[in-house]
DNA sequence: GAATTGACGGGGC
DNA sequence: AGCCCCGCCAATT
């Protein structure tokens, strides 16, 4: 088995974010949904705002954006990193979530760390193809 | 220990 | 689309 389940909520949040593949993104709310344990989007935001400098190299913080597809920090640096990974943006500068949203951890991984998987999105989430 | 803050989200208008 | 209010709760002060 890989590593132990983090005892601290912040560490677990970091661990989940580390699972997001390059080129894909997730939202604060979804990370919280996966982590469970009563966490919510704000906590994920708090966790990232407190992300130690040392961890910035292992936690892909840039792949977590808000539900609007906007970069909450307004950081140009964050956008550059995402574009470099191939994350699609629309003309309004919003990430096209319909095309690069992370589907969440595999059932196996989720079971191993006792976290949740994302519910299937049956909605016809507008495939804003323009 | 109490009050405040916040890289959020959903719902109502 | 935009705006406002409210809940949620760890971290900070």
**Helical H segments across A18-106, by residue range:** 28-35, 41-49, 76-85, 97-100
Angstrom CA distances, A48 to A10, A22, A62, A99, stand at 9, 18, 10, 24
pLDDT of residue A74: 85
Q: How distant is C1' of C11 from CA of A40, in Å?
A: 14
Average pLDDT, chain A: 88
Strand B near-CB residues (< 7 Å), A 82-111: none
pLDDT digits (tens, 9 = 90+) for A62-94: 999 999 999 998 889 999 999 999 999 999 899
Residue with CA nearest to C8's C1' atom? A40
Q: How distant is C1' of B1 from CA of A109, in Å?
A: 39
Mean pLDDT to the nearest integer, A42-62: 92
Strand C near-CB residues (< 7 Å), A 60-119: none
């Amino acid at each position: 088995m890989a590593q132990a389940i983090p005892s601290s909520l912040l560490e677990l949040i970091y661990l989940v974010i580390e699972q997001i593949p390059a080129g894909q993104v997730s939202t604060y709310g979804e990370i919280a949904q996966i982590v469970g344990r009563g966490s919510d989007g704000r906590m994920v935001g708090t966790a990232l705002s407190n992300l130690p400098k040392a961890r910035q190299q292992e936690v892909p913080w840039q792949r977590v954006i808000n539900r609007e597809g906007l970069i909450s920090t307004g950081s140009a640096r964050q956008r550059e990193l995402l574009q470099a990974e191939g994350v699609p943006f629309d003309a309004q500068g919003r990430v096209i979530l319909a095309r690069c949203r992370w589907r969440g951890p595999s059932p196996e991984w989720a079971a191993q760390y006792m976290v949740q998987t994302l519910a299937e999105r049956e909605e016809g989430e507008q495939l804003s193809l323009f």
